Structure 1
């Protein structure tokens, strides 16, 4: 029944998911990464509800959707050179973002574009194919909720000592999103490469001081990557 009410682009994205998961193949029904679910921890629930309450009061040019990498980006508007509404929640996985998008009170014309960065927290539980499935499910849902918005998807950033943790899975997801961006109706931003190049061979990189979240210099790199992709749009 849900497919009947999806806009054409969202329907195309939804139907394309099994093919886009190749060489992964479709996820089994009920896979956690693609099944909307609220946060199960009390702290996460509080952060989610605070973020949900801010969203309708801050319609803006750009909506940032993601986890703590976005939630901690206090200078996002300045780094991107445009007003933003930050819809990031620390600790979120793809299923939590799906739940938030379903419940968000904003209307279909609230934002000109959405910038999505999600998936790193799934890697503690999910393989690369599951993470890819979760991200593509979010893309389809965003097309449904904000049918006229441009959807920009940022690559998962490298992480861990030497930026080697789950690197094969991260590169699988990023490569698939880059190759299938036209079919998904998105613009893909490769932020992985500038971090990987700048931090190559360093066990402790100043761009990612805790080996996961950008520091001030890292957010500048992230902002430059996204801003370059957006250009003057």
Structure 2
């Protein structure tokens, strides 16, 4: 963990931005003997009042104070959430035999562009067996929706279920899916006229702190919701999350596991933009108005503490320093390049065609070694790659005894590798060693700190999709024509930062400058092409000699685990 702390310290944003959470009483929703109030929804402003929904469970319920057999109640506040009046029941259990007949909980509210208000909630049916909580398909948790109608004084007039069944069920393909057992904690945003339903997914026989956030999308409030193929890439293990629109994108505050403030331009691919969060939140819901108005402090309600009689309290969180816009190196992006043969893609076509070829290779079988990177990696050639390959002979001579594959694409930057990981290049095939070389194409557009941050994000996502793999992280190869060349200077500074990653779990860093450069650190001309950037065949021979024993050592470590 010392190396991890050093790595994060090396990448700390110069702005020193942080999120500070303050907690305070919520009068009217404080502790009451024999009553549990939890799972507060986001808070909507209706008329002159703020309205919150929450799960209420009373002593005598099965497994009190847990929320499964709860009912959804609501309360209103006229002073910005400091004093609340509990109004009463909002949504009861469903009819006998329905998917929500035994419990409704985890409420979430949304007002659409027409002013209609919807209540999304988690639910269990009568077949739910608390003794088999994490091992039985009958113990699934689903998500339903109702439409709400309010009076002028903020009173709830009606809550009408829009469907007899759920709008979201656990995935049914197999038990390995991140959301194969339960879908709960819904949070819904409007984006480009569509309903984006975020939720926590839980697989079979897994503790709550291993949950991950998923996303489904629909044109209508009651579905059908279209499911993606995986958990949100940056928010795996993100429990206790609040999410809201910001600056044309989406912000997510995670105050427990994977703590930080995350930003996404598309609502799916998230990058952490603030690491430091002071304070924690339990089952939080925010006042949407305070977030949409970008107030100096965003407030909401959360669970104060998990005593036998659970209760709610108010919180505020403030941003100390400006919310930084994440550097492009951290934002997964697909390349729009279509350079055909000029990129060394002998079959022509686009960058996406190259990604499709790699995806096809990834789905065939597990591999010993994956080479991941840009044109310097692509130029190794290898099985299945229709590309120019000055490193082909060295690849065969030094890596031929292993089942090695080449995932290099010319022109790639850190953001492109992030996109490729998120879009499945490592979802199926399992590898023993991943050799990562990326970042040189970011030079000129991004600072060394930003490049290193992007590489750190790649390591994080590789660990998520290939937890058993050893990663051999290579420093940027020597480049530049003289010691004042920006490429030369930025590559050296980036490598200085990357050295802090050596010793992260299953990560080995190696800087191969001594093998490829002279005493002045400049590329040896005989090993490079005329551009002092790309390797000649003899350069690949030199690189392969240095890599082979490192890969062999990591293969032995992998085999011994």
TM-score higher than 0.5? yes
Taking the TM superposition and a 5 Å limit, the aligned residue runs for 1:101-180 are 101-107=421-427, 110-162=430-482, 164-180=485-501
Taking the TM superposition and a 5 Å limit, the aligned residue runs for 1:22-41 are 28-41=324-337
**1:69 equivalent in alignment to 2:376:** yes
Q: Indicate which of 223, 227, 230 corresponds to 2:548.
A: 227
Mark the CA change 1:177 to 1:55 in structure 2 (over 3 Å): closer, same or farther: same
Count residues in correspondence. Answer: 223
Report the CA distance between 1:156 and its aligned residue: 0.3
**1:79 equivalent in alignment to 2:398:** yes
CA RMSD of aligned residues (A): 3.2
Q: TM-score, normalised by structure 1?
A: 0.81
- Any gaps of 5 or more consecutive residues in structure 1? 1-10
Mark the CA change 1:144 to 1:14 in structure 2 (over 3 Å): closer, same or farther: farther
Partner Cα separation in structure 1 for residue 441 and residue 366 of structure 2? 27
SS in 1 for 2:434: strand
Mark the CA change 1:206 to 1:183 in structure 2 (over 3 Å): closer, same or farther: closer
Aligned match of 2:221: none
Mark the CA change 1:199 to 1:224 in structure 2 (over 3 Å): closer, same or farther: farther
Q: TM-score, normalised by structure 2?
A: 0.36
Q: Which has the larger radius of gyration?
A: 2
Mark the CA change 1:76 to 1:219 in structure 2 (over 3 Å): closer, same or farther: same
Partner Cα separation in structure 1 for residue 369 and residue 435 of structure 2? 7
Deviations 1:146-195 (A, max 9, x none): 00100110110112324744222211221222233113641012212211
Mark the CA change 1:178 to 1:105 in structure 2 (over 3 Å): closer, same or farther: closer
In 1, are the aligned partners of 2:527 and 2:537 still within 8 Å (CA)? no
Partner Cα separation in structure 1 for residue 533 and residue 432 of structure 2? 29
Deviations 1:43-71 (A, max 9, x none): 32232222222222253101111001011
In 1, are the aligned partners of 2:377 and 2:408 still within 8 Å (CA)? yes
Q: Indicate which of 498, 502, 505 corresponds to 1:181.
A: 502
Q: Indicate which of 525, 537, 542 corresponds to 1:216.
A: 537
Aligned match of 1:21: 11
In 1, are the aligned partners of 2:3 and 2:501 still within 8 Å (CA)? no
Mark the CA change 1:121 to 1:112 in structure 2 (over 3 Å): closer, same or farther: same
Partner Cα separation in structure 2 for residue 145 and residue 44 of structure 1? 22
In 2, are the aligned partners of 1:36 and 1:99 still within 8 Å (CA)? yes
In 1, are the aligned partners of 2:448 and 2:490 still within 8 Å (CA)? yes
- Structure (1 or 2) with the greater strand fraction: 2
Partner Cα separation in structure 2 for residue 203 and residue 148 of structure 1? 36
- Structure (1 or 2) with the greater helix fraction: 1
SS in 1 for 2:472: strand
In 2, are the aligned partners of 1:97 and 1:138 still within 8 Å (CA)? yes
Deviations 1:191-213 (A, max 9, x none): 12211128967784443443111
Stretch deviating more after TM superposition (28-37 or 142-151): 28-37
Deviations 1:14-53 (A, max 9, x none): 9876423259678944310011011122332232222222
SS in 1 for 2:363: helix
Partner Cα separation in structure 1 for residue 398 and residue 419 of structure 2? 28
Stretch deviating more after TM superposition (19-28 or 65-74): 19-28
SS in 1 for 2:418: helix
